[in-house]
Amino acid sequence: MATYDSLSPEDKAILHEGEIVLRGWWASVVAAALDQKIEFLTASVAPIAMTLDANEAIPNTSGLAGSSDLTKEDLIALYQGMDAVNDDLKLPATFARIVRAIGVNAGSNRLV
């Protein structure tokens, strides 16, 4: 095991970059959860997607660079994953870790 101080400058730089990405990711997850659309989207989009044929492509209308069409199965799996993350956000230990990562001013006090 090592201490932070014993890490090489290169390892500290990698750790620092990863920390920034991690905090930003969790901030975006919290923002999505705070938007209160997860339950609505899961309840409304998934039933429609379930009516599609297997492997039916859903055209990409997001405008996100590098993204592509999703299949019915992709969409459903992503919504299930979103639900799992949203449920995990409500656990006290996860909530406490997220607050430590992104700060209370990120709106995390409205999560529960």
The per-residue pLDDT for range 69-95, each reduced to its tens digit, is 999 899 888 888 877 777 777 778 887
Q: Which residue from 84, 86, 110 is spatially nearest to 99, judged by alpha carbons? A: 110
CA gap 96, 90 in Å, rounded: 10
Q: What pLDDT does 110 receive?
A: 46
* Mean pLDDT of the 39-53 span: 81
Q: What pLDDT does 106 receive?
A: 58
Residue 64 vs residue 54, higher pLDDT: 54
Would the pTM count as exceeding 0.95? no
Is 90 exceeded by the pLDDT of residue 10? yes
**Which range among 7-16, 18-27, 59-68, 102-111 shows the weakest confidence by mean pLDDT?**
102-111
CA gap 90, 105 in Å, rounded: 17
- Paired sense of beta strands 57-58 and 70-71, if any: antiparallel
